[in-house]
Structure 1
């Protein structure tokens, strides 16, 4: 599990680094911050990415899936917060997503998703803070509550979350909770399959 989370983090950070050289000027990013465990991280322009996968199916139901990754910086620390969003094909990403805490390939997850038409997969959503030397300071996933995404047009989103991500030991026992507060409005780099 730790290798999967670290690999996911490296993918997100690599994507961020390639995109961070963008010359676009996001007028809303000046005050964008994410608070993780009481520490504030600046969210610079070009550091919010939507990785979108269209036309997926489960049990003959067509749906789309987007992972939204928010990257913040504080000194030599890099923080990432991600949300794995599922929504019926043809629906916009915009909306409030209940976070489901069962495995994303579990029958119960899809039954919950089919009833709600929009759902966030908790087990594949993550919150990580690393030092510049790749030392993990926080490694959490499976947030609780809801996340809200508002599409303001032209790939400018408002993303809001106020809750806890869970920290697990090697036996998957919950050992801690990491508070995360996020209320940002920024241009999002959308990458589709």
Structure 2
């Protein structure tokens, strides 16, 4: 995984963000708060970079989009005080639809990445490397669906064009989903991390 500090002030509280595919840090940059914030991305390798944070931190996990499945595989070991899933699911390929997922991977190009960006409502960072993004999608597809994860809060968007509402509802059987208005990248509605983690 890639790890980027969004905020590092030596706080006793750490928010560990499992970001979505291809969108980088931009969806989260405007969020404020006292906690340190470490953003994980690039899931070609799902090894946690544990050396980057000190033990004893009060840990919260915020997982977004494709990062939800990755986070779910690590939650039993991380044991955060709070875990929030946003617009994602334990088996993202099933929710997106296997045919759409596989076609996205097969036809990935700067043009199709731009189309994804518009549908997701999130900008793709300049210089995005198509082969690396394709390898990440391939790696994620090859991993088993995450076990039933213990998220404290599950947020999904009614107008999500990447993770459709009906498929999201089916992906979380028996779980309470907080439905919010908007599309796949809902972060503009928040100003502070506390609004997400509660």
In the superposition, the TM-score normalised over structure 1's length comes to 0.24
Higher relative contact order (CA 8 A, sep 6+): 2
Q: Which has the higher strand share?
A: 1
Using the size of structure 2 for normalisation, the TM-score is: 0.23
Which structure carries more helix by proportion?
A: 2
